[in-house]
Amino acid sequence: MLEMRLDGELPVTLDDVREAYKRIRRYIHNTPILTSQSIDRIVGANLLFKCENFQKTGAFKFRGACNAVFSLNNEKAGRGVVTHSSGNHAAALSLAAKIRGISANIIMPSNASPVKIEAVRSYGGRIIFCKPLPEAREEKADEVVKESGGVLIHPSNDPPIIAGQGTAALEMLNVIDNLDFIFTPVGGGGLLSGTSVVAKSLKPDIKVIGCEPKNADDAYRSIKAGRILPSVSPDTIADGLRTSLGTNTFSIIKKMVDDIVLVDEQEIVGAMQIIFERMKIVVEPSSAVAVAALIYGRVDVTDKNVGIIISGGNVDLTQFFKSLG
């Protein structure tokens, strides 16, 4: 019944994710799965962290960007690619385009993190700044597509992007087959939707949980309302989660995800601190959202096996610690 539903209604299937993995595995890192006994004790569960902060460009976004770029035929690829992104997808698409030898025009909001701006430049992306509003990003991207003839690659909603993001969960579930839960952060929904397709296809009884900041809770509200409610003036330290769901990610999430839970800003910072101290790894605020949901008890996972996808580690540490006073 699950396979029929996936094939008949959803824009991305397990086969799509498997094909994506074949396409991109030569370019990506098979990232490590780490554990922490001290965080296990805090949560009361067996936690396994899929560490995409060790992925190329420092985030899971390289998986989807790489799949999208290498899915293009030669004619389309030759026109270059265009996207709008606050940072991680921008850097990922820039590197993927550089590997394939094509151009990448990147629309970034004027308030994007300096670290992420520098990353895009270092990977060869051409940055075009716009006002820090969702509609401004999309309008500028449309202008650049018309001017350049490039192919627009949406940060989260395109099926090749979703399929590529799902390869992180595919790697994890290929080696760990006894997970009871899998947690991911949710912004535009590419990671959560790709993860849910893989998880529910391989293990239908697994619980898939999306985690979101209270100050950017459009996915939570959209699922409750049964329709997309765009994010309005999101104000969260988790800058990678300020974007809204798209039509494809929403359609997958509403069918495949068991719940979306919310955490506040202090909880996000608290989770980052615990990860820094206990695991000795750098994670960005967006990654910490999923861990915060566990540490602060949003879901009862007592004595369960829980997978968490650490989505990225791109932090401007100087600015971050200044913000903490």
CATH of the domain at 15: 3.40.50.1100
pLDDT of residue 170: 98
Q: Does 99 share its domain with 176?
A: no
316 and 230, same domain (yes or no) = yes
Residues 230 and 314 in one domain: yes
Q: In the numeric block, which tokens belong to residue 67?
A: 């799949």
My answer on whether 257 and 285 are in the same domain is yes
Residues 6+ apart with CB under 8 A from 227: none
Statement to judge: residues 75 and 148 lie in one domain: yes
Beta strands in the chain (DSSP E): 33-34, 46-51, 81-84, 104-109, 126-130, 151-152, 181-185, 207-213, 259-263, 305-310
Q: Are residues 204 and 74 in the same domain?
A: no
Cα(45)–Cα(27) distance, rounded to whole angstroms?
A: 34
The alpha-carbon radius of gyration of the chain (Å, integer) is 18
183 with 145, same domain: the answer is: no
pTM of the model: 0.93
Which of 50, 56, 61, 200 is flagged as catalytic? Answer: 61
Q: Is 270 in the same domain as 190?
A: yes
Ordered mean pLDDT values, 10 residues apiece, the chain (325 residues): 47 98 98 98 98 97 98 97 91 97 94 84 95 86 94 96 98 97 97 98 97 96 95 86 93 97 97 97 96 98 98 80 62
Looking at the structure, tell me whether residues 147 and 168 fall in a common domain.
Answer: no
Give yes or no: 222 in active site: no
Clarify whether 86 is annotated catalytic: yes
- The residue out of 152, 179, 214 marking a domain boundary is 152
Q: Which domain holds residue 115?
A: 61-152
Among 85, 86, 113, 286, which one carries the catalytic annotation? Answer: 86
Residue 114 has what pLDDT?
Answer: 82
Residues 168 and 268 in one domain: yes
Looking at the structure of the chain, the number of domains it has is 2
Helices (H) and strands (E) in the chain, counts: 15, 10
